[in-house]
Amino acid sequence: MRLPDYGSTPFSFRSFTLCVVLLAALLLSGCGRQDTEQPAVTLNSWLDDRYEEELQFSPISLTYMGRKDRNDELDDISFEGFKAHLVWKQQTVADLDRLFDYDSLSMEEQTSFDIWTYQYERMREAEAFFYTGLTFDQMNGVQSQLPTFLINIHEVDSAEDMAAYIARIKAVAPYMSTALNNAKRTSALGITTPGFALDGVIQQSKAIISGAPFSTDELASPNHEDSPIWADIKHEVAALLESSQITKLQSDQLLSSAKSALLQDFQPAYQSVIDWAEAEQDKAPTISTGVGRQPNGAAYYAYRLASQTTTNLSADEIHNIGLAEVARLRDEMALIMAEVNHEGDLDSFMDTVRRGDWNYYPNTDVGRQAYIDDATTAINALKQQIPDYFGLLPKADLVVKRVESFRERDGAAQHYHRGTADGARPGVYYAHLSDMTTMPKSLLEVVAYHEGIPGHHMQISIAQELQGLPLFRTRAGFTVYSEGWALYSEVLAKEMPTTYVSAYSRFGQLTSEIWRAIRLVVDTGLHARGWTEQEAIDYFMANSPQPLENVRSEIQRYIIMPGQATSYKIGMLKIQSLRAKAELALGEKFDIRAFHDTVLGGGALPLTLLERRVDRWIERALKQA
C-alpha cells in the first residue's frame, strides 16, 4: 500500500514488519518502558535507540541503509502493521515529552525533539487515509518497487546473501497478497484507479515476468532472453562462483532454488496483480481527474498539501502563487527568445524548441549512450566548482544510469537513488531513455543539476553522512525540503562559471523552473478545481516547450500523487527567501558556503524548522561580525 506521506522516510515503502507488532504490544504492556526519572543517556542516544526499534518495522529500510540483518524478509504493509507502528510511535512521543525538559535542551536537540514529534503527528493524520491512496499505479506501485529493490539494493556478497535474496523472492507472494487486499479495500470504498495507471501496472507486471525462466516458449520469447530478475540472479551467483565464495554444486543449487521461487511464488503473485488490474479497468473513469471527486477526496487533498509542503497554504493560495510564477517566468523566457532572434511570439518559440531535431539525440543506443556521457560530463565539471559554494561535501560518488527496461517509460521523469552513508555504494541519477524524442538537449544540464550535483545527491548524501545528530535525522525526508533544494540548485548552478553557457541551456533552466510553477496550477486545478486530465495537459502545453509525451506523463503523475508536485516550487521559494533574508541582514558578511552548510547541515526539515535554523544562524553571524 502506498501510504500518504507523513514526513518520515526510514522506510522506502512506508511499510512495516509483522513481527514487530509483537514488540509494540510488549512496549505498551510496560516491557521496556523508560523510568520516570530523567534518563542517564543523552537525547541523541535515546533517539538512536528508538530509531533502531523503528527500523525493525522495515527490513527493506535496513537493506537500503546497507545493513544485512533481516535481509531475508520483506515488510508488513497491512493496516494492522501500520497501526502497530503508529501505537509504538505514540508511546515514544509520550516518553520523549516526559523524560526530557525541552527548555534545557540545546537548539539542535530541540530540533530533533520537534522533528520526532512532527513525524508522529503526520503519521497519526495518515491513519484516516490508509485506504484512500492507490496501492498500484504506473509510478510508485509495489509491482515495480519490489524488483527494483531486489536487483539494485539487495547486495549479494556471500552465499548467505543469495539465500536471503531467494527468501525474499518467496516472500513476494504474501507481500503482494497483502497489497492486493489493500487495493481491493480501496476500490470497495469507491476510490477508482485511473485507466492509464492500470495500463502501466499491467505493462510493468508483464514485463517483469517475461523471458526466462517464466517463459521459454518460442513464440512468447523467441530469443529466450532472461527476465531482468533472472538475469540479475544468474549474474550474482556467477560472481560468487568466480570469487570462489561458492562451489559449482552450490551454484547449481542456488540457481535451482531461485528458479523454483520465481516460478512457484513470484510469477503467480505477479499474475494475480495483472488479473486484478485487468478486472479493475471496467471501473476506471472515462475522463481522468483529481481526487476531489473521490470519496473523502477533499479532506485527503488538504492532508496531502499540508504533508507535502509542511505549510498551511490552501489550494487557492498555492494555485495563485503558481499563476504569478508562470507569468514571471514567461517574461524571462521571452528575453531568451529575443537573444536568439526568434521571429514570432513565445508560443511559437516554445514550439520551435519542442519540435527542433537539433534539440534531440538520435533515438538509438548510440544516442542513449551520448546522453549518459554528456550528463556525466556536466556533473563532473560541476564537481570542480562545488567547494567554492559548499563546505560540506558528500563522500558518496554519483553515477548516471539508464532505468531498467522493466520499469522504463517513455517521457517519465528522471530520478535519484541514494547511495550508502559510507560511500561504498554511489548515488545513481536514473534517466528514462526508451524514447529519446522526450529527452531535449536543452534540459540535459538542468536535470543533471537537479538530480545530481548540487541537487539531490548533495543534499541526501550530506544528510546521511552528518555526524553529531541522531541517526533518524540523517534519514528523515520531507518532500518540500528535498525537492525545494533540488529546484533551488538548478538556479544556483547559474551562478557557477561553466554552466548554462548556451542560450538554449539557459532556456532549459527556465523551462524546468516554469514546469514546477505550472505544477502549482495544474495540481490544484486537478484536485481542488475539478480540472480534467486534458485541461491540465492543455495548460501545461501552453506554457512549456516540453514534448507532449512528457507532459502527458507528468499530468498522469500528478493525478495519482496528489499534492506531491506542489512541494518543489514551494520549497524553492522558501529557500530563496531565506537566502535573501540572510543576505539583507548580513550584507558583506554573508558567506554563501556557510548559508548552504546551514541549510544542508541539519538534514531534511519541515519549512518552519528550516526557517528557525537559518534565523538562528543569522543571529550568531551578526554577533560574531
Query: For residue 37, what pLDDT is reported?
Result: 52
Q: What pLDDT sits at residue 11? A: 34
Q: Is residue 602 part of a domain?
A: no
| Nearest one of 357, 342, 336, 289 to 547, comparing CA atoms | 357
Say which amino acid occupies 547: P
How many C-beta neighbours within 10 Å does residue 355 have? 12
Residue 624 inside a domain? The answer is no
Q: Are residues 64 and 205 in the same domain?
A: no
3-state class (DSSP) for residue 532: strand
Of the residues 569, 584, 609, the one at which a domain ends: 569
Whether residue 585 is contained in a domain is answered as no
**CA 200, chain centre distance (Å):** 18
Q: Are residues 8 and 97 in the same domain?
A: yes
Give SS3 for 100.
coil
Q: Are residues 265 and 316 in the same domain?
A: no
- Distance, in Å, from the CA atom of 312 to the CA atom of 185, rounded to the nearest integer, reads 30
Classify each residue of 168-205 as buried b or exposed e, where b means 16 or more C-beta atoms within 10 Å of its C-beta: bbbbbbebbebbbebbeebbeeebbbbbbbbbbbbbbb
Q: What is the dihedral of CA 275, 272, 268, 172, to 10 degrees?
A: 150
- CB-CB neighbours of 519 under 10 Å: 26
Q: Do 171 and 269 belong to one domain?
A: yes
Residue at grid coordinates 496550477: 521
Which DSSP string do the residues of 254-288 spell out, in sequence order?
A: HHHHHHHHIIIIIHHHHHHHHHHHHHHTTTS-SS-
Residue 12 identity: S
Residue 618, in any domain of the structure: no
* pLDDT, averaged in runs of 10, over the chain (625 residues): 37 36 38 49 96 97 92 98 98 97 96 98 97 92 92 95 98 98 96 96 95 73 78 97 97 98 98 97 93 94 97 98 98 96 94 93 95 94 93 92 83 84 88 92 95 94 92 93 97 94 95 96 98 97 90 94 97 98 96 97 97 97 87
Contacts of 512 (CB under 8 A, 6+ apart): 443, 446, 447, 450, 487, 490
Spatial contact of 230 and 150, defined as CB atoms under 8 Å apart: no
User: Would you say residue 213 lies in a domain?
Assistant: yes
Q: Are 457 and 401 in contact (CB under 8 A)?
A: no
Count: domains in the chain:
3
Question: For residue 224, what pLDDT is reported?
Answer: 67
Same domain (yes/no): 258, 369:
no
- Examine the fold and report which residue of 286, 313, 344 is the final residue of a domain before the chain moves on: 286
User: Quick one: pLDDT at residue 36?
Assistant: 43
The amino acid at 256: S
> Which positions ≥6 away from 144 have C-beta within 8 Å?
204, 208, 406, 407
What phi and psi values does residue 266 have, to the nearest 5 degrees?
-70, -55
Closest CA to 496 of 387, 369, 582: 387
Q: Do 83 and 6 share a structural domain?
A: yes
pTM of whole model > 0.95?
no
98 CB-side CA count, 13 A: 11
In a domain, 623, yes or no: no
Same domain, residue pair 345 and 457: yes
- Same domain? For 279 and 375 the reply is no
Residues near 502 by Cβ (< 8 Å), separated by ≥ 6? none
Q: Is 307 inside any structural domain?
A: yes
Asked if residue 315 and residue 180 are part of one domain, the reply reads: no
- Residue 472's contacts (CB-CB under 8 Å, 6 or more residues apart) are 8, 10, 47, 48, 50, 51, 54, 115, 116
How many angstroms separate the Cα of 268 from the Cα of each of 5, 22, 173, 194, 232?
30, 30, 8, 24, 20
Plot region of 141 (φ>0 → left; ψ -120 to 50 → alpha; else → beta): beta
The C-alpha cell at 296 is 473523502
Residues 177 and 96 placed together within one structural domain of the fold: no
Helix boundaries (H) for 440-532: 444-451, 456-465, 471-475, 479-492, 503-528
Last residue of a domain, one of 247, 263, 286: 286
10 Å CB burial of residue 582 (0-12, 13-18, 19+) is: buried
Q: CA triplet 229, 231, 234: central angle to 5 degrees?
A: 110
Tell me, yes or no, whether 529 lies in a domain: yes
Q: Are strands 398-402 and 415-417 parallel, antiparallel or unpaired?
A: unpaired
DSSP assignment of 402-434 equals: EPPGGG--TTPPPEEE---TTSSS-EEEEE--S
Q: Cα(193)–Cα(288) distance, rounded to whole angstroms?
A: 9
> 389 near 454, Cβ under 8 Å?
yes
C-alpha cell at 476: 528523515
Domain interval for residue 326: 301-569
C-alpha cell at 33: 518502558
